[in-house]
Chain A
Amino acid sequence: MSAKRSSGFNGYRLAAIARKESYQIFRDPSTLLVAFVLPIVMLFLFAYGVSLDTRNVRIGVVLEADDAAAQSLAAAFSGSRYFSVTPARDRREVEPRMIAGHLRGYVVIPQDFASRLQRGQTTALVQIVTDGTQPNTATFVANYAKSVVSNWAATQIPDAAPAINVQSRFWFNPEMESRRALIPGALSIIMTIIGTLLTALVVAREWERGTMEGIFSTPATVLEILLGKLLPYFCLGLAAVSVSAVLAVWVFGVPLRGSVLTLLLLSSVFLVPALGQGLLISTLARNQFVAAQLALVSGFLPAFILSGFLFEIRSMPRAIQMLTYIVPARYFNAGLQTVFLAGDVWPLILPSIGAMLLLGSILFAIVVRKTRKSLEV
């Protein structure tokens, strides 16, 4: 074994650094907390806690009329699975409850309801008032309340068939369960936390404590050091993704229509830019607090908000759409949702892989340059 300094790549030195790093991972329970416990909590929350399939929304039904038709419409609201109804006689009863946030809106069935009904549908039958502070819920209340009224009206007014009948189908997710779409997305957030936040912290700690200089003074090359540091986190990330995928499929009932290999390939490729970003942050910050804040704002929050996981990218302003192109989680999220729900759609997966590799190589190129420089100074 020659101890020549910095001459080419040495597998033993790489393995030694990787081993040291692995010990560090397993010695600190907080790493395992974030790599395994937090993912399970998040998957659980996305499966059972948070749901975009709104039902049992609390609304008030203000019955100003007393006739049978009005009663029957009120009963239609009570019977709907989308609403949980608080009955009232006067809108002054429900208005304060809506302000307090106990009700998301209310429906007023007016005094002259029966005569409006007889006149046909030239005038609106009821008034729907929603709490506009939460636009999403407000839209939901308005649309579903309208459909309750229309469906009820259809049973009351014998009329010709509607001109257009819409048949809708959801591909890949026929029951439209939001968890099936959210859980694959949650994986991309978990991987961002492990790849970017964890790496940023650990390497920043070495800089903060000065042990990084210690490693640099060894015969190991910059490349060996960087790879040795990243390898254990790469494995940790893949382990976390495997555990999460197993849970997603067997516990939370998300189908895996693509192949396991494609899933692992996508995850491995995503780790390249994620780890690169973590490394870059730590190199720039060299302080754990700063590194944590930077990882949060440049890694975690974009993975949450700009990845298309919850918010539709095409609906964002043009400038922000451009910004999403440099968020690796955007590509990973699309790939994951496809592998889980649709299958191995290579025309979508290959460009995603290409984009992630490109972002990864740019990040690593910057890291290697920055690290060399810092040694010279």
Chain B
Amino acid sequence: MHARLIRLRAQIVKELLCLLRDPKSRAVMLGPPLIQLFVFSFAMTLEVKHIDIALLNHDSGGAAIELVQQIQSSDLVDRVRTAGSERELAEMIDTQQVLASVVIPETFSRDIARGNSGTAQIIVDGRKANAGQIALGYLQTIAGNAATTRRPLSGGETATVRHEFNPNLIYPWYVVPSLAGILVTLVALMVTALSIARERELGTFDQLLVSPCTPSEIIVAKAIPAFLVGTVLASLMMGAAVLLFGVPFTGSFGLLFGCLMVFILSLVGIGLMISSICSTQQQAILGTFAVVVPAIIMSGFATPVENMPVALQWLAQCIPLKHFLIILQGSFLKALPPADVFANAWPMALIAAVTLTLATRLVRSKLQ
């Protein structure tokens, strides 16, 4: 037993040296992810504001002027550009100078004055599916408000809305914790995927196999550096989320930290599996990429998992990030109860157990 511990310790020291000896490698493990956290946290907003819109107004009546003023004064619009003709309007949309345009017909004010509905047309650039839809929603609300000021009886508030956990829908509260999960996934997978593949490429893996180390020892030793890097990185990012971005943390820190361990363990398992299949670093890096890109797309970060077809929803259950994102968001904003944390933690534990076992098997098969 004692000999075993000494062997294991020696191997862990070796793995840590491999990873941390090169100053450039050290730098790219922590530096870029942290910079990304800052840049992307501000960039990843599905809000739409400060856009330019085009206006083609054929009507000089009061109702039209009022509508235009309401649009101009909203937070959505930065600049309203007046188009002289249909053609000019089309050109502005074609060249993406504006995201949307409003056309007010000649009869607009007259129709309203007569007690009918004035019809305004909104044209949206369909190349921008998401922003276009959101901008249209805002413009419709503005038109609705303009309509109520004109004719208070119609329309109006039918419902009050309360956004729980994030009353003002501050985007960084959502993005920063989630992005931390994504960036940790990228780094932890890459570090582990390279570990065995690098030794295979350099030929040192054969030496490792003829040494007295057992396959499980090899796996444990390979897992620890990625585990440390992942934990440090995740802690830094979560610290930044709370201290720099002011994201409230309402859940249990201990539970979240425990789940982080399980999460990283499952990533390490996947990474080691990839690594034991690949024979060169290039294969390992590209293999990781082929796994991680679809995984991030399906994790529920950008679009809800329940929007996907059922078969893909099942597949998404195999993605550790999908479960961890729920725990992360829940722990930060929702004070997620332990039972719900557990409900999302055990799938990750299962993934970790399966992948680590498989990775050990794969290494053992190389021995024989």
Whether the pair A133, B126 counts as a contact (CB closer than 8 A) is no
Give the number of residue pairs across the A-B interface with Cβ within 8 Å. Answer: 366
Taking CB atoms, residues of chain A closer than 8 Å to B123 are 168-171
Taking CB atoms, residues of chain B closer than 8 Å to A161 are 115-117, 154
Instruction: Determine which of B45, B167, B285 lies in contact with A311 in the assembled complex, contact meaning CB atoms within 8 Å.
Output: B45
Interface segment out of the listed A123-131, A235-243, A269-277: A123-131
Q: What CA separation (Å) do A179 and B99 show in the bound complex? A: 18
Instruction: Determine which of A28, A172, A310 lies in contact with B125 in the assembled complex, contact meaning CB atoms within 8 Å.
Output: A172
- Nearest chain A CB to B81 CB, angstrom units: 13
Q: What CA separation (Å) do A113 and B158 show in the bound complex? A: 12
Whether the pair B286, A320 counts as a contact (CB closer than 8 A) is no
Q: Does A348 contact B (CB under 8 A)?
A: yes
Identify the closest chain B residue to A286 (Cβ).
Answer: B24
Cβ < 8 Å to B, chain A residues 35-52: 37-38, 41-42, 45-46, 48-52
Instruction: Using A139-B169, A311-B45, A312-B51 as known contacts, say yes or no to A162 and B161 having CB atoms under 8 A apart.
Output: no
Whether the pair A99, B340 counts as a contact (CB closer than 8 A) is yes
Cβ < 8 Å to A, chain B residues 3-47: 22, 24-25, 28-29, 32-33, 35-36, 39-40, 42-47
Whether the pair B293, A38 counts as a contact (CB closer than 8 A) is yes
The number of chain B residues with a CB under 8 A from chain A is 122
Taking CB atoms, residues of chain B closer than 8 Å to A205 are 281-282
Instruction: Determine which of B93, B129, B153 lies in contact with A52 in the assembled complex, contact meaning CB atoms within 8 Å.
Output: B129
- Nearest chain A CB to B183 CB, angstrom units: 9
Q: Does A248 contact B (CB under 8 A)?
A: no
Identify the closest chain B residue to A137 (Cβ).
Answer: B304
Q: What CA separation (Å) do A166 and B287 show in the bound complex? A: 50
Taking CB atoms, residues of chain B closer than 8 Å to A298 are 32
Whether the pair A166, B140 counts as a contact (CB closer than 8 A) is yes
Taking CB atoms, residues of chain A closer than 8 Å to B95 are 345, 347-348
Whether the pair A162, B117 counts as a contact (CB closer than 8 A) is yes
Whether the pair B158, A181 counts as a contact (CB closer than 8 A) is no
- Nearest chain A CB to B71 CB, angstrom units: 12
Q: Identify whether the interface residues of B are mostly helix, strand, loop, or mixed.
A: helix
Chain B residues within CB distance 8 Å of chain A: 22, 24-25, 28-29, 32-33, 35-36, 39-40, 42-52, 63, 67, 78, 91, 93-96, 99, 112, 115-134, 136-137, 139-140, 143-144, 146-148, 150-151, 153-167, 169-171, 173-174, 186-187, 190-191, 194, 198, 278, 280-283, 285-287, 289-290, 293-294, 297-298, 302-304, 306-309, 312, 326, 329-330, 332-337, 340, 343
List 26 A–B pairs whose Cβ atoms lie within 8 Å, in order of A's numbering.
A28-B283, A30-B282, A41-B294, A52-B303, A53-B129, A96-B337, A128-B161, A135-B46, A143-B137, A160-B151, A163-B151, A169-B122, A171-B124, A176-B132, A176-B133, A201-B282, A288-B285, A289-B28, A293-B187, A301-B36, A306-B39, A315-B45, A323-B39, A337-B127, A345-B94, A347-B95
Chain A residues within CB distance 8 Å of chain B: 28-31, 33-34, 37-38, 41-42, 45-46, 48-58, 96, 98-101, 104, 107, 121, 124-139, 142-143, 145-146, 149-150, 153, 159-174, 176-178, 180-182, 193, 197-198, 201-202, 205, 285, 287-290, 292-294, 296-298, 301, 305-306, 308, 310-312, 314-317, 320, 323, 334, 337-338, 341-342, 345, 347-348
